[in-house]
Amino acid sequence: MDSRSAEDHLRVIRELMERATIYRAISAPAALCCGFLALIVASAALIPGPLQPILRHYFVPVWIIVFLLSAVANTLFLMRSTGERKITFPSRRLRTALVAITPAFMVAGALTILLTRNRGSEIFVAVCWIGLYGMALLSTVTFAPRSIALLGWAFVLTSCLCLGLLTQDYLFSFTASRHVTLPGLGYLAMAGTFGLYHVIYGFAVMFYGRHGNG
């Protein structure tokens, strides 16, 4: 055996080990479902219509329903994927991912309860969800593909940017000049992140997946 073929063997070992430990906890079709659902809900809340007052009044319950529907969609897509590969559901890698993301979701739940005690806190609730969702994704970074890490960073950075901008004076001038209410601003933030970012992620993973770069 020469050094070139030894090097090839080592490369194959490394690639196989990396591939075996990588796990995509959000499937591309589920991301598209979640993204479009978030965009539809946010549009209904932002564009004047019969649903607007209800959606604006029940900001947190509405997004909890969206979250649950998205979680169900993701579970179904992951189940289909494991079924195709004849693997028991939930797979070991899915369980590892769930353990990794649970702390961030717990903090998000606690902050939601705390923040929703005050009216007009919708935008702050949204920013907390955005940041903690990003942190949940980043907590899987040791075994997640690069696209999940990028998605996580996009959420975290957006959250940091929003927190930097959300001074009371700025909020007051922003909402006053554009006739946007605080719940409306919350819907805008949710549409831009949970809606748009997931749609971009879903299409990117589908496109690169087809071109062998998943």
Partner 1 sequence: MAATGMVDFNKLDRTIHEKGRLAIMTLLATRPRWAFPELKSELQMSDGNLVTHLRALHQVGYVAVTKEIVDRPQTSYSMTERGRTAFKAYIETLAEIVKLGRL
Interaction residues for partner 1, span 87-116 (CB under 8 A): 87-88, 91-92
> What is the closest distance, in whole angstroms, from the C-beta atom of residue 1 to partner 1 in the complex?
6
Q: Is the N-terminal amide bond of 90 cis, ω within 30° of 0?
A: yes
Distance (Å, whole) CA 88 – CA 104:
26
Is 10 a binding residue for partner 1 by CB under 8 A? The answer is yes
> What is the closest distance, in whole angstroms, from the C-beta atom of residue 82 to partner 1 in the complex?
9
Q: Which of 211, 199, 210, 207 has its CA nearest to residue 30?
A: 199
Candidates 13-21, 25-33, 45-53, 70-78: pick the segment binding partner 1 (CB under 8 A): 13-21
Shorter beta-carbon distance to partner 1: residue 13 or 68: 13
Amino acid letter at 47? I
Is 85 a binding residue for partner 1 by CB under 8 A? The answer is yes
Q: Which of 209, 212, 213 has its CA nearest to residue 28?
A: 209
Shorter beta-carbon distance to partner 1: residue 14 or 57: 14
Distance (Å, whole) CA 206 – CA 214:
8
Is 4 a binding residue for partner 1 by CB under 8 A? The answer is yes
Tabulate helix, strand, coil % of the chain (nearest 5).
80, 0, 20
Distance (Å, whole) CA 55 – CA 62:
7
Site string for partner 1, 43-82 (x = CB under 8 A): ----------------------------------------
Binding site residues, partner 1, CB under 8 A: 1-4, 6-7, 9-10, 12-13, 16-17, 19-21, 85-88, 91-92
